[in-house]
């Protein structure tokens, strides 16, 4: 979308860069007395870097951490290079694997194709069959699916369920007020909200829990008065930094969908700490919670649950990020539906206990 700076960055991270990253992570853990840190190997496609390179990176981070600090590592992949030898190495090294898949073969292959135009679903499904085996199951972190309003929501969800994922992440496609997401003509004004409502009803109404859906669990938690651990909902501070392949320390990379350089901080591993990153205005804005919302959001009765949605989805040329989410109506549709459904469920259970 807005940012093309990846063209000028190294394709893979060199060892001097990731060792500098390991040092900065260890420094941060020691300064703040952390008992656990989490790194996510992302891309692009991280497996293109080679499994040996990735594991050396993980080992270097682990060695750098202070005693008593646990490292949790996960890898997000499109799955096409995920074979049994690679899985065995990842399992042995305690690296969890998340796989991106967009539902049915037809839905997935509309967007995820090989360079020759052939769909990738069958290859990814083969990798998921391996991950579903008992011996590799501990490495299976879950599935990531981008919402496509042209796909049937229940068919999409049930197609993902066939791979027995422990967790599913449904993500709204990146868009903003200046580059809005696609909205089918002649359909409901809240197609993304309607889509997620259909998934919620199918998931919540099942006789027993079939999998976890992170977005919907966060929404239930917020509705019942809890806090959020997600940057997609709620007002909790975002505690993520991105280390680019050239050693730049950046904000969450989804901000690149807004405009060129939106995630840049001007900081680098060789010269700056993560504590310095925390004082960057862009990162500080992600820590302000309610104070970072525009007047329209503050007047909304569900703003504490919605939190104006994903920060990147608020952008508009001329006013920056001080706007409601471009998915405002969709999020309101989903939130109010979940509120009603939970209220009905709670009343039924209370009434049943009283009887």
CB 302 within 8 A of CB 296: no
- SS in 3 state form for the chain? CCCCHHHHCCCCCCHHHHHHHHHHHHHHHHHCCCCEEEEEECCCCHHHHCHHHHHHHHHHHHHHCCCCCEEEEEEEECCCCCCHHHHHHHHHCCEEEEEECCCCHHHHHCCCECCCCCECHHHHHHHHHHHCCCCCHHHEEEEEEECCCCCCHHHHHHHHHCCCCCEEEEECCCCCCCCCCCCCCCCCCCHHHHHHHHHHHHHHCCCCCCCEEHHHHHHHHHHCCCCCCCCCCCCCCCCCCEECCCCEEECCHHHHHCCCCCCCCCEECCCCCHHHHCCCHHHHHCCCHHHHCCHHHHCCCCHHHHCCCCHHHHCECCCECCCCCCCHHHHHHHHHHHHHHHHHHHHHHHHHHHC
Q: How many CB atoms sit inside 10 A of residue 47's CB?
A: 21
What mean pLDDT do residues 237-265 have? Answer: 90
- State the pLDDT confidence band at 44, using cuts at 50, 70 and 90: confident
Q: How many CB atoms sit inside 10 A of residue 324's CB?
A: 23
Q: According to the model, what pLDDT value does residue 253 have? A: 86
CB 263 within 8 A of CB 9: no
Q: Which residues contact 67 (CB under 8 A, 6 or more apart)?
A: none
pLDDT in tens, 277-322: 999 988 888 788 888 899 999 999 999 999 999 999 999 999 999 9
Domain 5-333 fold is TIM Barrel (3.20.20)
pLDDT above 70: residue 160: yes
CB 290 within 8 A of CB 299: no
pLDDT above 70: residue 354: no
Phi, psi of 141, deg, nearest 5: -85, -30
pLDDT above 90: residue 82: yes
CA angle 201-204-205, nearest 5°?
75
Phi, psi of 79, deg, nearest 5: 90, -10
How much is the mean pLDDT over the chain?
92
pLDDT above 80: residue 355: no
What mean pLDDT do residues 114-124 have? Answer: 84
Sketch the domain layout of the chain as residue ranges: 5-333
pLDDT in tens, 2-30: 678 888 899 999 999 999 999 999 999 99
CB 219 within 8 A of CB 213: no
CB 127 within 8 A of CB 101: no
CB 149 within 8 A of CB 184: yes
- State the sign of the Cα–Cα–Cα–Cα dihedral 288, 294, 299, 304: negative
Percentage, residues of the chain above pLDDT 70 = 99
The CA distance from 180 to 190, in Å, is 13
The CA distance from 42 to 257, in Å, is 17
CB 6 within 8 A of CB 263: no
Q: According to the model, what pLDDT value does residue 353 have? A: 61
Q: Are strands 140-146 and 95-100 parallel, antiparallel or unpaired?
A: parallel
Q: According to the model, what pLDDT value does residue 45 have? A: 93
């Amino acid at each position: 979308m807005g940012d093309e700076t990846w063209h000028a960055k190294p394709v893979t991270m060199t060892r001097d860069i990731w060792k500098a990253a390991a040092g900065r992570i260890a420094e941060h853990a020691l300064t703040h007395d952390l008992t656990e840190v989490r790194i996510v190997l992302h891309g692009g496609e991280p497996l293109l870097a080679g499994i040996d390179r990735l594991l050396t990176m993980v080992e270097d981070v682990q060695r750098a951490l202070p005693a008593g600090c646990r490292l949790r590592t996960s890898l997000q992949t499109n799955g096409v290079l995920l074979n049994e030898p690679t899985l065995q190495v990842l399992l042995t090294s305690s690296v969890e694997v998340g796989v991106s898949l967009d539902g049915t073969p037809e839905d997935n292959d509309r967007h995820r194709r090989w360079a020759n135009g052939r769909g990738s679903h069958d290859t990814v499904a083969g990798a998921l069959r391996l991950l579903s085996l008992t011996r590799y199951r501990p490495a299976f972190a879950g599935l990531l699916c981008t919402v496509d309003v042209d796909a049937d929501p229940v068919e999409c969800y049930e197609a993902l369920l066939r791979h027995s994922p422990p967790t599913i992440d449904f993500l709204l496609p990146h868009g903003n007020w200046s580059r809005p997401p696609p909205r089918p003509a002649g359909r409901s004004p809240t197609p993304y909200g309607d889509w997620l409502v259909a998934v919620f009803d199918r998931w919540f109404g099942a006789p027993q829990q079939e999998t976890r859906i992170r977005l919907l669990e966060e929404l239930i938690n917020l509705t019942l008065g809890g806090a959020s651990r997600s940057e997609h909902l709620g007002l909790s501070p975002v505690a993520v930094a991105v280390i680019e392949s050239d050693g730049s320390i950046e904000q969450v990379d989804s901000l690149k969908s807004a405009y060129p350089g939106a995630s840049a901080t001007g900081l680098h591993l060789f010269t700056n700490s993560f504590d310095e990153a925390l004082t960057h205005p862009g990162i500080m804005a992600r820590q302000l919670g309610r104070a970072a919302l525009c007047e329209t959001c503050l007047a909304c009765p569900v703003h504490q649950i919605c939190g104006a949605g994903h920060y990147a989805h608020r952008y508009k040329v001329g006013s920056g990020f001080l706007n409601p989410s471009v998915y405002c109506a969709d999020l309101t549709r989903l939130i109010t539906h979940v509120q009603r459904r939970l209220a009905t469920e709670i009343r039924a259970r209370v009434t049943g206990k009283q009887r």
